[in-house]
Amino acid sequence: MPFQALLTEKSEAGAITSSVQTLDNSRLPDGNVTLTVEWSGLNYKDGLALTGGGGIVRTYPHIGGIDASGTVLDSADPRYAPGDQVILTGWRVGETHWGGYAQKLRLDANWLVPLPKGMSTRTAMMLGTAGFTAMRAIDRLEANGLTPSGGEVLVTGAGGGTGSIAVHLLGKLGYQVVAVSGRPQLAEGLRQLGATSIIARDELMATPDKPLESARWAGVVDTVGGAMLGKVLKQVKAQGAVAAFGNAGGIELNTTVLPFILRGVALLGIDSVMQSYSARIPAWTRLAELFDPVAFEPFVSEVGLAELPQAARDILAGKVQGRTLVKLR
Ligand SMILES: NC(=O)c1ccc[n+]([C@@H]2O[C@H](COP(=O)([O-])OP(=O)(O)OC[C@H]3O[C@@H](n4cnc5c(N)ncnc54)[C@H](OP(=O)(O)O)[C@@H]3O)[C@@H](O)[C@H]2O)c1
């Protein structure tokens, strides 16, 4: 059966364009499992891939979408049978391998995880790479000693996908969550998601710039990077940590060694892409326990394939609130 996909192409002049096209099964890439994709999602990296940014895509035509959830159509791998529901995030799918912006996806079975019991394929994509990354960041902070009694936890870029999920998960775990957002209009929604207080982006960045500032945060989930990561490192309490995985605010990091050598602060790098199956399963199990899709629904919007190019421009402009789901069914 032919299937619909958002095909991204590059013209001889270098222009990147995407259009919905009907493709034959013979166009599916190599792999030992074929899925019917039900849902995908939009992440910052998808925004880059669809607009030709960040050197994410090297070969065209391309199908983007670093995340997908759906049902196994056929499988040559003994772990999966037709009808099984699965999740894909990472492994450079949607970057070097065709991704989830298609009704069918063929890939390596090693890249899949089974859909956790009780979770729908839609909820799985409310989470996607964003949810998996936020969960890994919290797990790493807790492994470093963070507990709800330790004090306030800061989440930067709180209005975005990873940030809003981090706020929600930390709130569910009983933390005092301080959300940083450049969008005052999101304050009430972030409070309902689990934030105990909100700081405007400008206010956070406006404190007098010193090598060490007043120590306030027991932990930080940083989705922004750049100047904001440099700033928050100066404000972390002794033995606290920053889990960092984002670069929406830039890739540079300007810091001194003082937070590390005088306060024992840890900077924990989080990579969601090349995580092993054994690292993924506990994170998805914990997400299934903690994440409340009903409470998170105000931070969700849905688009179809044809609306994705505009949504990609919006996420890069910092205009997307929470998570954007891509409906394939
Ligand atoms: N390392 C990994 O494995 C991994 C995994 C997932 C995501 N990421 C990265 O994490 C970042 C967030 O991803 P996402 O999908 O959550 O993106 P997103 O939905 O666009 O969220 C990013 C948020 O950061 C804030 N922001 C944007 N530009 C900013 C700037 N110049 N200065 C300060 N704040 C800014 C905005 O929130 P407010 O408007 O509320 O301030 C925005 O909504 C991206 O850089 C992404 O590539 C990395």
Question: From the CB of 272, is ligand 1 less than 6 Å away?
Answer: yes
Q: Tokens standing for 45? A: 């990296």
Q: Quick one: pLDDT at residue 329?
A: 87
Residue nearest to atom 26 of ligand 1 (CA): 157
Question: From the CB of 125, is ligand 1 less than 6 Å away?
Answer: no
CB 248 within 8 A of CB 223: yes
Question: From the CB of 182, is ligand 1 less than 6 Å away?
Answer: yes
Q: Quick one: pLDDT at residue 103?
A: 98
Q: Quick one: pLDDT at residue 160?
A: 97
Measured N-to-C along each axis, helices 277-290 and 161-172 cross at an angle, to the nearest 10 degrees, of 70
d(CA 224, CA 213) in angstroms, rounded, equals 19
At residue 202, the 3 state secondary structure works out as helix
Question: From the CB of 322, is ligand 1 less than 6 Å away?
Answer: no
Distance in Å, CA 157 to ligand 1 centroid: 6
d(CA 45, CA 316) in angstroms, rounded, equals 9
Q: Which atom of ligand 1 is nearest to the CA of 48?
A: 47
Question: From the CB of 189, is ligand 1 less than 6 Å away?
Answer: no
Question: From the CB of 320, is ligand 1 less than 6 Å away?
Answer: yes
Q: Quick one: pLDDT at residue 220?
A: 99
Look up tokens 């309490």; give the residue.
Answer: 237
Question: From the CB of 41, is ligand 1 less than 6 Å away?
Answer: no
pLDDT along the chain (329 residues), means of 10: 96 96 97 98 97 94 98 98 98 98 98 98 98 98 98 98 98 98 97 98 95 97 98 98 97 97 98 97 98 98 98 96 97
Distance in Å, CA 194 to ligand 1 centroid: 19
- All domains in the chain, ordered by first residue: 3-115+294-327 (3.90.180.10), 129-269 (3.40.50.720)
CB 100 within 8 A of CB 37: yes
Residue nearest to atom 21 of ligand 1 (CA): 160
Q: What pTM, to 2 d.p., does this model score?
A: 0.98
d(CA 260, CA 298) in angstroms, rounded, equals 38
Question: From the CB of 270, is ligand 1 less than 6 Å away?
Answer: yes
Q: Quick one: pLDDT at residue 43?
A: 98
261's CB contacts (< 8 A; 6+ apart) are none
Q: Which atom of ligand 1 is nearest to the CA of 315?
A: 20
Question: From the CB of 318, is ligand 1 less than 6 Å away?
Answer: yes
Question: From the CB of 121, is ligand 1 less than 6 Å away?
Answer: no
* Planar angle of CA 101, 104, 106, nearest 5 degrees: 105
